[in-house]
């Protein structure tokens, strides 16, 4: 078998040119291995050869991205590679972003696989994760000895033509696949395995969520200004903003001035995915306007924000939900709101 | 959305039916509600009783907003 051709991209530091003071060096290429390439060579010698190394200063790449990209891409191309390795760039931010950008260049222009190594919090990973197989490595070059075999293993799997490659951080891409068994059967089998304490592999890993510290309590609710927000899709009859029934791209802001009680004539839900009959009959079941107005009248709450905010939580991306929340909170704070009731269906 | 609002320092109570989801997304004050299509009502009840049910749930939510918490708390 002829050995596959690999090009390795590294920064000025790992090329031995210099540290921060040399971070503005322009791209250059050298035949064969440089720096950490030597260790990759040791791991991959049976199946591949590092035919060339492309080097660029981290500051130069980031400050002159268009120019640097063009030159680096030409240099990589000149070696006619089958695979490109970038880094590892650990938790070095500019190096990570440059290595990620190179992965994207190679992916989009040369359509070749790229293997990289980054600390998961390196911004280069988040930005360019879908353009390469990025292996999780430590946060400093002190972990180089671990990083090299892990990255080499992924490179080998690619070279061997493995269908399922393991050992890298998810690219965040979804791919359609056909399975022999239908979903319901697979789900039940998974559940049975789980109950029996056997190993099972989820087909849809849950995203990890960050946490927010609880805000301080309201001292006296009878003096507080309250606002109503909902992800259950409560909107004025006719859904004037055309909020989508799923995967909502927006939220609505609606006046509470003329509504003391929802009826089938003045309110409805825009939410898909649940039976809307009960909400359309009486939207107070989703957004308790009737009782909150009553509580306002009898002094159980201090005052009420003049608007309610509504979106549809059905399949809405975390990024959108976060954006809506931040924007809504900004408007609430401006109006002196003290506390929020958010209802969900 | 709950979290993004709370991140600005506003106390927020999440009234929802599926408490585990609320916990997963990170609400800190949670009031469990009746059912997915009618969290704050119950079409089986007559209108007067249904409104009383809703009143009780909203009072519980207001109470939650007045209660200092240090971790995710379900007010049931």
The residues spanned by each domain of chain B are 2-74
Q: Kindly give the parts of chain B with pLDDT less than 70.
A: none
List, as ranges, residues 97-136 from A with C-beta within 8 Å of B. Answer: none
Cβ neighbours around B49 below 10 Å, total: 11
Does pLDDT of A201 surpass 90? no
pLDDT of residue A275: 87
Query: Which residue of A lies nearest to B6 if distances are taken between CA atoms?
Result: A215
A319/chain B closest Cα distance in angstroms: 9
- Whole-number Å distance between alpha carbons of A93 and A89: 8
* Span A110-147, pLDDT tens digits: 999 999 999 988 889 988 999 999 999 998 899 999 99
In this structure, are residues B27 and B50 in contact, taking their beta carbons and an 8 Å threshold?
A: no
B chain contacts of residue A275, beta-carbon cutoff 8 Å? 37
* Span A23-78, pLDDT tens digits: 999 999 999 999 999 999 999 999 999 999 999 999 999 889 999 999 999 999 99
List, as ranges, residues 40-59 from B with C-beta within 8 Å of A. Answer: 40-41, 43, 51, 54-55, 57-59
* Span A265-279, pLDDT tens digits: 999 999 988 889 999
A chain contacts of residue B75, beta-carbon cutoff 8 Å? none
| A309 in contact with chain B, both atoms CB, cutoff 8 A | no
In this structure, are residues A88 and A42 in contact, taking their beta carbons and an 8 Å threshold?
A: no
A77-91: average pLDDT: 97
In this structure, are residues A308 and A230 in contact, taking their beta carbons and an 8 Å threshold?
A: yes
pLDDT of residue A142: 92
The yes/no answer on whether domain A4-159 falls in CATH 3.40.50.2300 is yes
Please, which residues have CB within 8 angstroms of residue A159's CB and are 6 or more apart in sequence?
A4, A44, A47, A48, A82, A83
Strand partners, A303: A225
Query: In A79-182, where does DSSP find H-type helix?
Result: 93-105, 123-128, 144-159
Q: What is the mean pLDDT of chain A?
A: 94
Does pLDDT of A318 surpass 80? no
Residue spans of beta strands (DSSP E) within B1-72: 12-16, 29-32
H or E stretch covering A211: none
Q: Using CB atoms, which residue from B10, B61, B73 is nearest to A337?
A: B10
pLDDT of residue A20: 83
pLDDT of residue A344: 94
pLDDT of residue A272: 87
Domain boundaries of chain A, sorted by first residue = 4-159, 221-343
Tokens representing A253?
A: 């802001």
* Span A326-336, pLDDT tens digits: 999 999 999 99
pLDDT of residue A75: 98
Report the percent of chain A where pLDDT is more than 90.
82
pLDDT of residue A208: 64
Helix (H, G, I), strand (E, B) or coil at A309: strand
A78-87: average pLDDT: 98
pLDDT of residue A273: 82
B chain contacts of residue A337, beta-carbon cutoff 8 Å? 10
């Amino acid at each position: 078998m002829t050995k596959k051709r690999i090009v390795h991209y590294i920064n000025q530091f790992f090329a031995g040119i210099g540290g921060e003071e040399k971070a503005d060096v322009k791209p250059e290429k050298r035949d064969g291995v440089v720096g950490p390439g030597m260790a990759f060579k040791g791991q991959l010698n049976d199946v591949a050869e590092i035919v060339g190394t492309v080097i660029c200063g981290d500051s130069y790449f980031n400050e002159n991205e268009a120019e640097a990209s063009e030159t680096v891409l030409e240099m990589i191309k000149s070696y006619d590679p089958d695979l490109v390795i970038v880094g590892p760039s650990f938790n070095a931010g500019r190096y990570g972003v440059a290595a990620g950008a190179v992965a994207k260049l190679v992916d989009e222009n040369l359509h070749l696989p790229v293997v990289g190594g980054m600390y998961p919090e390196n911004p280069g990973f988040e930005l360019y994760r879908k353009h390469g197989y990025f292996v999780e490595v430590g946060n400093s070059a002190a972990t180089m000895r671990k990083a090299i075999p892990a990255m080499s293993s992924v490179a080998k799997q690619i070279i061997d033509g493995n269908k399922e490659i393991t050992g890298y951080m998810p690219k965040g891409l979804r791919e359609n696949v056909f399975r022999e068994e239908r979903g319901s059967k697979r789900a039940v089998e998974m559940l049975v395995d789980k109950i029996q304490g056997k190993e099972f592999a989820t087909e849809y890993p849950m995203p990890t969520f960050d946490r927010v510290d609880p805000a301080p309590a309201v001292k006296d609710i009878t003096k507080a200004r309250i606002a109503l927000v909902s992800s259950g899709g409560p909107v004025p009859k006719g859904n004037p903003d055309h909020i989508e029934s799923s995967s909502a791209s927006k939220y609505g802001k609606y006046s509470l001035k003329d509504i003391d009680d929802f009826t089938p004539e003045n309110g409805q839900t825009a939410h898909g995915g649940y039976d809307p009959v009960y909400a359309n009959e009486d939207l107070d079941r989703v957004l308790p306007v009737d009782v909150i107005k009553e509580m306002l009248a009898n002094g159980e709450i201090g005052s009420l924000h003049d608007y309610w905010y509504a979106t549809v939580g059905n399949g809405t991306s975390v990024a959108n939900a976060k954006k809506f929340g931040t924007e809504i909170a900004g408007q609430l704070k401006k109006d002196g709101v003290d506390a929020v009731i958010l209802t969900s269906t | 959305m709950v979290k993004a609002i709370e991140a600005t320092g506003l106390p927020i109570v999440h009234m929802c039916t599926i408490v585990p989801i609320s916990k997963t997304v990170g609400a800190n004050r949670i009031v469990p509600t009746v059912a997915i299509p009618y969290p704050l009502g119950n079409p089986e009840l007559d209108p007067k009783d249904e409104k009383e049910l809703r009143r009780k749930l909203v009072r519980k939510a207001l109470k939650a907003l007045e209660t200092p918490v240090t971790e995710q708390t379900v007010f049931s």
